[in-house]
Amino acid sequence: MKIAIASDHAGYDMKEQIKNYLLEKKFDIIDLGTNSNASVDYPDYAKKLGEKVTKGEVDFGIGICGTGIGMSISVNKVKGVRGALCLYPSMAEYARKHNNANVLVLAGRLMGSDLAIWTVDKFLTTDFEGGRHKRRVDKIDEIK
């Protein structure tokens, strides 16, 4: 599975921890930056992340900023992205099962690394249920 990961400065440390964890698990990772704790603008990284996902260059994306809110708002501006801000594994589970989320957004300042990794694991191991949820996701995709 190929995963793109991106963060701003507030999510940098968490990005590095998650990236290293996923590399150990033999995932193919594309790191879109940032590459330090120096201040940057999260919309720049959210755009890169969303485009990788919607072009089919990766299976899923993971975006991280301080609260997850800015990254979530920004990545969802990319047509075809269904980004979900998830603070717990159960949120990630339902984001995949019911919403077919293709980008997981995490909060670097609000989550510990263990919780973030559990959330990533749940997101990446949960399948979309389809059925009545597909109809709803199709309606989301029709919104302009």
3-state secondary structure of 105: strand
Amino acid identity, position 1: M
Distance (Å, whole) CA 41 – CA 46: 9
Local structure of residue 63 (DSSP, 8 states): E
Nearest to 92 by CA among 80, 74, 76, 107: 107
Residues carrying an active site annotation: 65, 98
Q: Is the dihedral of CA 101, 33, 112, 65 positive or negative?
A: negative
- On whether the CB atoms of residues 118 and 111 are closer than 8 A, the answer is no
Hunting for tokens 């597909």 — which residue is that? 134
